Structure 1
Amino acid sequence: MALRPISGETLADAAYRRISEAMLTGGLEPGARLVMDTLAAQLEISRTPVRDALHRLEREGLIEPAGRRGFVVRRLGPAEIHHLYEIRMAVEVFAAGRVAELGSEAVSHVADAIRKAEVMGLSEPAEAFAANRLVHRAVVEATGNPLLVDLFDGIWTRATALQVYSGYFQRELVHRPIRELHQPMLEALAAGPERAVEVMRHHIQEGLEATLE
């Protein structure tokens, strides 16, 4: 596949993001080979930032060496997918309960995020990913705990998350409105901590099951 050229960004980070996006959209499927010279030519940058991006992806377990032929995109197993969702459960379920405890102002922050996400494009998996992330990040932001937000970002900005969620986004999010997916969660936040925890846990569990299909 052809990757879009990079301009106006930190090259190593931009190369990482471009390659990650290709994994999300299906342009780079498990088993695809990544050759440094080819990627550098497609991105119109030197080999060095591409090498840095590939090593970062390797550290995250998304790709593995393939001898002199560069790297190959790994297929994540069920255990790795479960691990990612377990961490999401720990962070986001706690956040949902805390937002419900804080009350209407915190819940309004999430409602605002849903309204913003509704006007974002959803025709591509990468767009659906961004809209969904906006809503879920708003729940964590509304707790007022910056360390919790850092944990959330550490989960959702990993290329691992992109690959894990890619199939789910292509099947679900590009076909279902953001409000339809998240209105039950918003109502649960307003209903109180117990209900908020229950619905957020169910919401994330549904995502796990859909991802494993």
Structure 2
Amino acid sequence: MSASTKPIGSARGPAGPLESRPVEDSGRRGLTDRVYEEIKALVMDHGIEPGARVGIESLARRLEVSPTPVREALARLESDGLVTKRSQAGYRATELLSVEGLVDLFDMRRLLEPRAAALAAVHATDEQLDHLETTVEGMRSHPVTGERYLVYRRFAALDQEFHDTLAAASGRPLLAQAVQRLHTHLHMFRLNTAPGDALTTVDEHDRVLRAVLRRNPDRAAEAMEQHLSGSWERHIAVMDGNPAKK
């Protein structure tokens, strides 16, 4: 049985939602959104193994939909960096980051995000500051409590939103686009959710936020660098303890 057609619960945890309910059409956009989330859950939970072929027809049968919303969902997942499309070969789930890939990712983050935080301390609008505060509060209310995507996706989305909003608040569109295009949190949460460290992440975000609110660019950059260093240590510790992820 291929990785793209095996039962959903075979990689992590109990059977997922696709086995228990069909996706019902409530409008084209709503249908595509749900198909996107269902396939994304498969990729994030390794129900579709890293590197495995993603068959459009087999997914359409599994979700009980036509191939069209599956194609649309896969195009979105390609822009997320979770699948790749090759000429004449269709889609494949992207491989997990290796240690070397994680090093590259964090090198980029350390180049971009402390600078973005410093600029946000100078340029952020009141609306952006309010949104950053709301995001941190939301993360504190949705700590990671499990390994499956449907459990941690809200926390992961807020985590990414905090960093993207901060980058947008820098007032430098190219810098903001570079941060957003890394899709950092999708790749890291796909490696591991580090559930015990959720509140540590929130506390680190809060220190960045307080520096930005005080309009202190040096402290904002320092707090972001400390957050990235802590995140690096947490993720590399998990990878060091799991040779399969190297």
What's the TM-score, normalizing by structure 1? Answer: 0.70
In the TM superposition, residue 129 of structure 1 has moved relative to its aligned partner by 0.5
Q: How many residues align?
A: 208
For structure 2, which runs of at least 5 residues remain unmatched after alignment? 1-7, 9-15, 146-150, 240-246
Does the C-alpha gap of structure 1 residues 109 and 62 become closer, same or farther in structure 2, counting only changes over 3 Å? closer
- Report the secondary structure of 2:23's partner residue: coil
The alpha-carbon distance between structure 1 residues 104 and 54, as it changes in their structure 2 partners (threshold 3 A), is closer
What are the equivalent positions in structure 2 for 1:183-202 lying under 5 Å apart? 183-189=206-212, 190=214, 192-202=216-226
Structure 2 residue aligned with 1:43:
63
Residues of 2 paired with 1:6 and 1:155: CA distance?
33
Indicate how the Cα distance of structure 1 residues 85 and 11 shifts in structure 2: closer, same or farther if over 3 A, else same: farther
How many Å separate the matches in 1 of 2:75 and 2:174? 27
Structure 2 CA distance for partners of 1:107 and 1:209, relative to 1, 3 Å: same
What SS does the corresponding residue of 2:182 show, helix, strand or coil?
helix
Going from structure 1 to structure 2, the CA distance change for 1:103 and 1:154 (only over 3 Å counts) comes to: closer
| Equivalent-residue separation in structure 1 for 2:131 and 2:78 (angstroms) | 36
Letter aligned with residue 167 of structure 2: V
Please say if 1:176 is aligned against 2:199: yes
> Partner of 1:176: helix, strand, or coil?
helix
Say whether 1:139 aligns with 2:137.
no
**What letter is aligned with 1:205?**
S
| Equivalent residue, structure 1, for 2:99 | 78
Q: Which of 189, 195, 214 is the equivalent residue of 1:165?
A: 189
Q: Provide the C-alpha distance between the structure 1 equivalents of 2:231 and 2:136, rounded to a whole number of angstroms.
A: 18
Distance in 1 of aligned mates of 2:109 and 2:120: 16
Per-residue CA deviation, residues 60-93 of structure 1 (Å, 9 max, x unaligned), is 474688x999846533322333333333333322
Query: TM-score of the superposition, structure 2-length normalised?
Result: 0.63
Find the aligned partners of 1:192 and 1:69 in 2 and give their Cα distance. Answer: 49
Residues 16, 77 of structure 1: alpha-carbon distance in 2 compared, 3 angstrom cutoff: farther
3-state SS in 2 of match to 1:169 = coil
Q: 1:38 to 1:188 in 2, by over 3 A?
A: same
Report the counterpart of residue 23 of structure 2 in structure 1: 5
What amino acid does structure 2 have at the position aligned with 1:135? Answer: F
CA–CA distance in 1 between the matches of 2:209 and 2:46? Answer: 31
- The 1:63/1:180 distance shift into structure 2, 3 A limit, reads same
- Separation (CA, whole Å) in 1 of partners of 2:131 and 2:73: 35
1:97-108 matches, within 5 Å, as 97-102=118-123, 105=126, 107=129
1:104 Cα offset (Å): 8.9
The alpha carbon displacement at 1:53 in A equals: 4.9
Q: RMSD of the TM alignment (CA)?
A: 3.9
Report Cα offsets for 1:96-117 as digits up to 9, x if no partner.
1112234794655532332244
Percent identical pairs in the alignment equals 25
Structure-2 change in CA distance of 1:207 and 1:28 (3 Å) = farther
- Look up the SS of the partner of 1:5 in the other structure: coil
Distance (whole Å) between structure 2 residues aligned to residue 55 and residue 136 of structure 1:
24
CA displacement 1:13-71 (0-9 Å, x = unmatched): 76454323333244444365643332111222223443565577678474688x99984
1:89 to 94, 102, 110: 110
Q: Match for 2:231 among 181, 199, 207?
A: 207
